[in-house]
Amino acid sequence: MSLDYDALMNHEFEEPARTYTAADTALYALGVGLGHDPLDEAQLRFVYEKDMLALPTMVTVLAGFGLWFKAPWTGVDWVRVLHGEQGLRLHGVLPPAATVRARMRIVEIVDKGPDKGAFIHDERELRDAATGELVCTLTGTTIARGDGGFGGPSGGGKPVHVLPDRDPDATCDLPTLPQAALLYRLSGDFNPLHAEPSVAREAGFEAPILHGLCTLGVAGHAILKTWCDYDPARFRSLDLRFSAPVFPGETVRTEMWRDDGVVSFRAWAVERGVVALDRGRAEVEGE
């Protein structure tokens, strides 16, 4: 069975509602590494209910649709699927507790050919369930490696953000815990690749890997810390490409270039000298 272009482009996804609490907000923040220094009061506000704040990147778990591409109607070879790109744009400050509703649609499918797969681009809206207010717009790219050559359009796709050709203006090293993937999965991504050593080995990894969206959260933390003074209201958007996995326990080094309100960035798995996140672009407010 091959990828069903018409079914994907015309599918009306359900609009699930999710109620999250201060405990969920703290769990997400702990999963991406905040609270590593329990005496750092700036980080404490994201993991402790007094005067609590929510990390902007938490929207990625609130707008999740799980392994939707695993459904038979898609025709997608889901075993060979990768998360290629992720973007988010905040339209306000995410509260530490609320009920939200997510809406998703497929906006474009690009046929890269039999040897290169298909790129499935989606858009999601996250709204406050009570007021209907738009909280965040998210974009994502799923790389269906086994589904190229289905006869669909070959042009289009997202533009590539080019990093500046100069030394970074700032660098932020953040550690991850050896149990980081086990913590992060409790925010909703239960793929056994991130927990079971045998599953990881079958997938070609020496050990369970960190969720890509967890690494995104670590880079988001670096931007929030370096350029926003831990104020979520100053964090407006983020876009990036996933390049390589991070293993729990590794250090994530985020290199950043600031040009007015735009922060270009990439993130390394320091111990292996591998770029894990690339072509990053964020928008921030303030000096």
CATH code of residue 127: 3.10.129.10
Residues 188 and 135 occupy one common structural domain? no
- Report the domain count for the chain: 2
Collect the ranges in the chain with pLDDT lower than 50: none
Instruction: Based on the fold, state whether residues 19 and 132 are members of the same structural domain.
Output: yes
- Whether 264 maps to a domain, the answer reads yes
* 160 found inside a domain: no
Helix (H, G, I), strand (E, B) or coil at 174: strand
Q: Of 189, 217, 221, 223, which residue is the catalytic one?
A: 189
CB proximity list for 260: less than 8 A, separation 6 or greater: none
- The catalytically annotated residue of 121, 194, 211, 221 is 194
- Statement to judge: residues 11 and 137 lie in one domain: yes
User: Do 116 and 197 belong to one domain?
Assistant: no
Task: Identify which of 136, 139, 137 has the alpha carbon closest to the alpha carbon of residue 119.
Answer: 139
Could you tell me if 186 and 100 lie in one domain?
A: no
pLDDT confidence of residue 2: 84
54 & 128 share domain = yes
Q: Is residue 197 part of a domain?
A: yes
- Report how many helices (DSSP H) and strands (DSSP E) the chain contains, helices first: 7, 10
pLDDT of residue 156: 77
Q: Which of 110, 200, 114, 88 is nearest to 154 (CA)?
A: 110
Q: Is 209 assigned a catalytic role?
A: yes
**Catalytic option among 148, 209, 223, 280:** 209
Q: Give the end of a domain, one of 129, 144, 159.
A: 144
Beta strand pairing call for 262-269 and 235-242: unpaired
Q: Which of 110, 144, 178 delimits the end of a domain? A: 144
Catalytic residue (choose from 64, 75, 152, 212) = 212
212 belongs to the catalytic site: yes
Classify residue 150: in a domain, yes or no: no
The answer for 156, left when phi > 0, alpha when psi is -120 to 50, beta otherwise, is left
Residues 119 and 22 placed together within one structural domain of the fold: yes
On whether residue 101 sits in a domain, the answer given is yes
**Is 44 within a domain?**
yes
14 lies in the same domain as 138: yes
Tell me, yes or no, whether 162 lies in a domain.
Answer: no
Residues spanned by the domain of 197: 170-284
Same-domain check for residues 41 and 140: yes
What pLDDT shows up at residue 157? 76
Q: Which helix (H) or strand (E) holds 106?
A: strand 98-111
Nearest to 25 by CA among 58, 50, 66: 58
Q: Are the C-beta atoms of residues 195 and 208 closer than 8 Å to each other?
A: yes
Indicate whether 51 belongs to any domain. Answer: yes
